[in-house]
Structure 1
Amino acid sequence: MLKVYGLYRSRATRPLWLLGELGVPFAHVPVTQAYKLADPLAADAPLNTLSPAFRALSPAGAIPVIEDAGFVLAESLAITLYLAKKHGGPLAPADPQEEALMLQWALYGTTAIEEPALEISFAYARGEAETEAGRARIAAAEGKLLRPLAVLEAHLATTGQIVGDRFTVADLNMAEIVRYAQPDTALMARFPGVTRWLEAAQARPAFQAMWAARTAEPA
């Protein structure tokens, strides 16, 4: 059976959401981030990103990782693209051109959007939006996001979806990247098309199920 290593409170949300969309059975193997533990190498420490058993699967010590009939794959966006193509259906690329576009948008999201969006996510999660330094950090991240979110806004205005005329793994991947900026309501209000698209993606039952599991997981 397919195994997914990681926690819901990580980028494992991406393959976990996708597997819910696909209805594919899998075994979830919790792997804690080492920084959350006082001594990740202690004999009684839970499986974590520094555990030798996990590092044998992931030399980089990063989650998520999947193991599929002996095939091991890391990096969340590579995992989702692989699983979508393997299992087919409407979430998968219909042809090589769609596959290339899905890869293009995954790369654009992770290089142009994810880092500053994460800055916003962390700032709000830590309560830094209430401080002068935190607001300055958020403003700097907003400045980096204006152009790529404008690109996404214009693209969605013509297509309604990231690739093709249906919800696909490309939408899922991008939605999980843009989600990091979602606490910044003032920024999101500047991009109503992106906001509507993101809210529609998050209204899907598979997202809701994944998010409920994430919320139930200890922080």
Structure 2
Amino acid sequence: MAATTTGLKLYGIARSRAMRNLWLLAELGIPFEHVKIVQTYNKTLPDEVTSRDTEFLAINPNGRIPALIDGDVTIWESMAINLYLGRKYGGPLGPVDLGEEGQMTMWSFWATNECEAYAITVHESSMAKSEDWQQTPKAQAAVEHLDAPFSVLETALSKTGYLVGSRFTVADVNVAMVIFYARNASALFERYPSVARWYAAVTARPHFQLVMKMREG
């Protein structure tokens, strides 16, 4: 019997880590309510609710987006949200057994622990109005730190082109959305062709492109 989505709500905006949840929800094609909660520093309109407002703190007392409500279940943390959605509603995007569930969790934790901080540094450096941003010490150090995890990713992707079960899954969404922050580090992608092919393929998917337009809108 298929799981129902009564009362499914995602809190956040595309220009945040909620983007990875919006992408997965689009891929799953399940109905949900998108409640736009902005970071305090992104508030531009007086009636916008921020992640530090009382009504959202009742959902996530950490005051961070995203958050998910599914009936009587509340989940914080974008990776945990996607793993939950994959487990409950994922079909072929979710795990077929405990082994795949463990691998999807492994890759999600790996991306967060091994890549995300350095990838965000690359992203922040690339936002500078400078053509030689990649030559700054901060950016160079971040790219150097990312070389080892990119090598790990290259080895994994060279086998089947995907991370788990030889197909596109929640693991690819979660890891790609971390690598997303390092997308302007061209030297890394040139050095690791399997990573480059995989990233190009998954981000060419129509639902990623749809959510990217939301982010840029």
Residues in 1 aligned to 2:41 and 2:128: alpha-carbon distance in whole angstroms: 16
Query: Residue 47 of structure 1 aligns with which residue?
Result: 49
Matched, 1:25 2:50: no
Kindly provide the CA deviation profile for residues 9-54 of structure 1, in whole angstroms up to 9, marking residues without a partner as x.
Answer: 000011100011100111111111112348x9xxx45200110111
Q: Would the aligned equivalents of 1:4 and 1:67 in 2 still touch at CA under 8 Å?
A: yes
Q: Would the aligned equivalents of 1:129 and 1:138 in 2 still touch at CA under 8 Å?
A: no
AA in 2 matched with 1:29? V
Q: Could you say if the C-alpha distance between residues 182 and 88 of structure 1 is closer, same or farther in structure 2, counting changes exceeding 3 Å?
A: closer
Query: Residue 194 of structure 1 aligns with which residue?
Result: 195
Kindly provide the CA deviation profile for residues 57-92 of structure 1, in whole angstroms up to 9, marking residues without a partner as x.
Answer: 111111100111121111000000100110131101
Query: Residue 10 of structure 1 aligns with which residue?
Result: 16
SS in 1 for 2:162: coil
Query: Residue 207 of structure 1 aligns with which residue?
Result: 208
Q: Could you say if the C-alpha distance between residues 193 and 45 of structure 1 is closer, same or farther in structure 2, counting changes exceeding 3 Å?
A: same
Query: Residue 138 of structure 2 aligns with which residue?
Result: 137
Gaps of 5+ in 1: none
AA in 1 matched with 2:88? K
Q: Would the aligned equivalents of 2:154 and 2:194 in 1 still touch at CA under 8 Å?
A: yes
Q: Would the aligned equivalents of 1:161 and 1:167 in 2 still touch at CA under 8 Å?
A: yes
SS in 1 for 2:93: coil
Kindly provide the CA deviation profile for residues 133-177 of structure 1, in whole angstroms up to 9, marking residues without a partner as x.
Answer: x71111000111010100000111123111111000000100001
Q: Would the aligned equivalents of 1:128 and 1:135 in 2 still touch at CA under 8 Å?
A: no
Query: Residue 185 of structure 1 aligns with which residue?
Result: 186
Deviation at 1:215, TM superposition (A): 1.4
Q: Sequence identity, in percent?
A: 41
Residues in 2 aligned to 1:194 and 1:131: alpha-carbon distance in whole angstroms: 22
Residues in 2 aligned to 1:80 and 1:135: alpha-carbon distance in whole angstroms: 34
Residues in 2 aligned to 1:192 and 1:127: alpha-carbon distance in whole angstroms: 28
2:68 to 59, 66, 69: 66
Residues in 2 aligned to 1:131 and 1:2: alpha-carbon distance in whole angstroms: 41
Gaps of 5+ in 2: 1-6
Q: May I ask how many residue pairs the two structures share in their alignment? A: 211
SS in 1 for 2:92: coil
Residues in 1 aligned to 2:195 and 2:145: alpha-carbon distance in whole angstroms: 16
AA in 2 matched with 1:16? L
AA in 2 matched with 1:76? S
Q: Would the aligned equivalents of 2:13 and 2:38 in 1 still touch at CA under 8 Å?
A: yes
Matched, 1:115 2:121: no
Query: Residue 155 of structure 2 aligns with which residue?
Result: 154
Residues in 2 aligned to 1:188 and 1:194: alpha-carbon distance in whole angstroms: 7
Deviation at 1:129, TM superposition (A): 5.5
Query: TM-score by structure 1 length?
Result: 0.91
Residues in 2 aligned to 1:118 and 1:139: alpha-carbon distance in whole angstroms: 13
Q: Would the aligned equivalents of 1:129 and 1:135 in 2 still touch at CA under 8 Å?
A: no
Query: Residue 79 of structure 1 aligns with which residue?
Result: 81
SS in 2 for 1:4: strand
Query: Residue 174 of structure 2 aligns with which residue?
Result: 173
CA RMSD of aligned residues (A): 1.7
Q: Would the aligned equivalents of 2:126 and 2:184 in 1 still touch at CA under 8 Å?
A: yes
SS in 1 for 2:69: strand
1:92-103, aligned counterparts within 5 Å? 92-103=94-105
Query: TM-score by structure 2 length?
Result: 0.92
